[in-house]
């Protein structure tokens, strides 16, 4: 039997399990409690934030047999996850819930098939649910065909569009649907969930390694869980930072902290040596510089407004924040110039065949400016 990926195994089974999207959860649960689901939804936002999961939860709520029979249970605004309908949706076997990949089924013919299909009543459920993922990939003709369906949908139909590019959805479509924006998930919530998964699965992993996974995921639960799954496949007794660095080409906070410390002290020799080492070890220099700029940005913000410490507590480990606070006390106005030079270098590195050169030039030039300043 194939291995069940962690992100699938721990996919939220209820709205209460959907972390980091509190406002959306509140609204959708209220709609479910009052049994007034909309005929059309558009879920937009970054990848891995719960759009498709929420679409499936709506499908389960719409067709949950226990909700239909038990008025008291219906007040919870959640699916039962145990009736025939809920289980068949989880298994992808419910004939009345159709998922369409907009990226590979983007033409007018596919949407016309949807229009034909939607005319027939559900076979075993109260509602027919159509989930179109990557909806922004649909063609102009496909949008026009879909519009006709959204203008006069059957009472038993619910259409849910999921997209990472809301600006590509025509206004004629978006005006006929409830719109929800899924935000990036806070780092602390990702780490908390990874810790629970690790405990349940018996995975031994250091806090630094969890922090690096959450940093790599950039607000996506799915990306963080997929990387954890990848690291478990190595079969080591305990997952450490170094293994994750090698797997994703991303440098940990502690190493970036050492590099930034050298920059702030004006130690060009140590900074250039550090760049040489990570370059020789095959790390992504553009990603490294991006993380360095982010690190310096936080130091600048803390120097300017110490109250931002409360915000950063949600984004990073306590010991990491302590280091940033200490560095902010040595931050000078001249370091702002250094940040600007590094930002320019980042832009050049992304399109250069020799990304190391713009970085090294920026270090030398930037530290000369800081010295002068």
pLDDT in tens, 167-214: 999 999 999 999 999 999 988 899 999 999 999 999 999 999 999 999
Q: What is the pTM of this model?
A: 0.84
Q: Write down which residue in 181, 201, 224 finishes a domain.
A: 181
Let me know if residue 311 belongs to a domain: yes
Backbone phi and psi for residue 179, each to the nearest 5 degrees, phi listed first: -110, 135
Q: Token digits for 299?
A: 């130091």
Final residue belonging to a domain, choices 248, 263, 291: 248
Q: Contact 98/130 with Cβ under 8 angstroms? A: yes
State whether 241 and 266 are in the same domain.
no
CATH number at residue 213: 1.10.8.60
- For residues 163 and 141, what is the distance between their CA atoms, to the nearest angstrom? 18
Q: What phi and psi, each to the nearest 5 degrees, are found at residue 101? A: -85, 110
> CATH no. for residue 289?
1.20.272.10
In a domain, 44, yes or no: yes
CATH of the domain at 172: 3.40.50.300
Q: How many structural domains compose the chain? A: 3
Do 236 and 321 lie in one domain? The reply is no
33-54 burial code (b ≥16 CB/10 A, e <16): eeeebebbbbbbbbbbbbbbbb
Give the domain extent around 41.
Answer: 6-181
User: Which of 248, 264, 287 delimits the end of a domain?
Assistant: 248
The pLDDT value given to residue 314 = 82
Cβ contact 369:337 at 8 Å: yes
pLDDT of residue 142: 86
Report pLDDT for 107. Answer: 65
Task: Say whether both 147 and 197 belong to one domain.
Answer: no
Residue 165 lies in a domain: yes
Residue 259 lies in a domain: yes
Shared domain for 26 and 175, answered yes or no, is yes
One pLDDT digit (tens) per residue for the chain, 373 residues: 557 789 889 999 999 999 999 999 999 999 999 999 999 999 999 999 999 999 999 999 999 999 999 999 999 999 999 999 999 999 989 999 999 888 777 667 777 788 888 888 998 899 999 999 999 998 888 898 889 889 888 999 999 999 999 999 999 999 999 999 999 998 889 999 999 999 999 999 999 999 999 999 989 999 999 999 999 887 767 898 989 998 888 899 999 999 999 999 999 999 999 999 999 988 989 999 999 999 999 999 999 999 999 989 888 888 999 999 999 999 998 899 999 999 999 999 988 888 999 999 999 999 987 775 5
Beta carbons within 8 Å of 326's beta carbon, 6+ residues apart: none
Which secondary structure element, helix H or strand E, spans residue 190, and what is its range? helix 187-201
The reply to whether 211 and 278 lie within a common domain is: no
Is 86 part of a structural domain of the chain?
Answer: yes
Closest to 153 in 3D by CA, of 187, 123, 179, 115: 115
Whether residue 1 is contained in a domain is answered as: no
| 284 domain residue, yes or no | yes
Same domain as 80, residue 13:
yes
Same domain, 39 and 172: yes
Q: Do 92 and 210 belong to one domain?
A: no
Claim to verify: residue 155 and residue 191 sit in the same structural domain: no
Which residues have CB under 8 Å from 104's CB, separation 6+?
none
What would the pLDDT profile of 123-141 be if each residue is shown by its tens digit?
889 999 999 999 999 888 8
pLDDT of 106: 65
Please check whether residue 351 lies inside any domain of the structure: yes
User: Is the same domain home to 73 and 170?
Assistant: yes
Cα(95)–Cα(5) distance, rounded to whole angstroms? 24
Neighbouring C-alpha atoms within 13 Å toward the C-beta of 43: 28
Helix (H) or strand (E) holding 278: helix 268-280
Say if residue 168 is in the same domain as residue 295. no
Domain shared by 228 and 367, yes or no: no
Q: Report DSSP state, residue 12.
A: -
The predicted structure's pLDDT at residue 196: 95
């Amino acid at each position: 039997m194939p291995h069940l990926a962690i992100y699938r195994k721990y996919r939220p089974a209820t709205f209460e399990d959907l972390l980091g999207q509190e406002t959306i959860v509140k609204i959708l649960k209220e709609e479910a409690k009052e049994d007034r689901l909309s005929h059309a939804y558009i879920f937009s936002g970054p990848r891995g934030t719960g759009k498709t999961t929420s679409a499936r939860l709506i499908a389960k709520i719409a067709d949950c047999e226990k909700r239909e029979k038990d008025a008291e249970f219906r007040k919870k605004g959640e699916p039962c996850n145990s009736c025939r309908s809920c289980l068949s949706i989880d298994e992808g076997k419910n004939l009345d819930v159709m998922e369409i990949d907009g990226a590979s089924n983007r033409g007018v013919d596919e949407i016309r098939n949807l229009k034909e299909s939607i005319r027939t009543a559900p076979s075993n459920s109260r509602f027919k649910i159509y989930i179109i993922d990557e909806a922004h990939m649909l063609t102009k003709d496909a949008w026009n065909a879909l519009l006709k369906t959204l203008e006069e949908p059957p009472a038993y139909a619910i259409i849910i569009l999921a997209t990472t590019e809301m600006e590509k959805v025509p206004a004629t479509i978006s005006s006929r649907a409830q719109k929800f924006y899924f935000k990036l998930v806070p780092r602390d919530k990702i780490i908390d969930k990874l810790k629970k998964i690790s405990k349940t699965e018996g995975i031994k992993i250091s806090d630094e390694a969890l922090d690096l996974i959450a940093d790599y995921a950039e607000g996506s639960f799915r990306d963080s869980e997929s990387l954890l799954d990848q690291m478990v496949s190595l079969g080591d007794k305990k997952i450490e930072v170094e293994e994750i660095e090698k797997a994703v080409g991303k440098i940990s906070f502690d190493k970036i902290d050492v590099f930034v410390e050298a920059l702030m002290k004006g130690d060009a020799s140590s900074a250039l040596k550090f760049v040489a080492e990570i370059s020789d070890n095959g790390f992504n220099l553009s990603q490294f510089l991006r993380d360095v700029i982010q690190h310096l940005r936080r130091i600048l913000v803390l120097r300017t407004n110490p109250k931002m410490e409360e915000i950063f507590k949600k984004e990073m480990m306590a010991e990491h924040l302590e280091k940033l606070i200490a560095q902010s006390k040595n931050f000078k106005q001249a370091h702002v110039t250094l940040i600007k030079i590094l930002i320019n270098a980042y832009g050049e590195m992304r399109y250069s065949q020799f990304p190391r050169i713009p970085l090294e030039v920026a270090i030398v030039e930037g530290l000369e400016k800081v010295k002068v300043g």
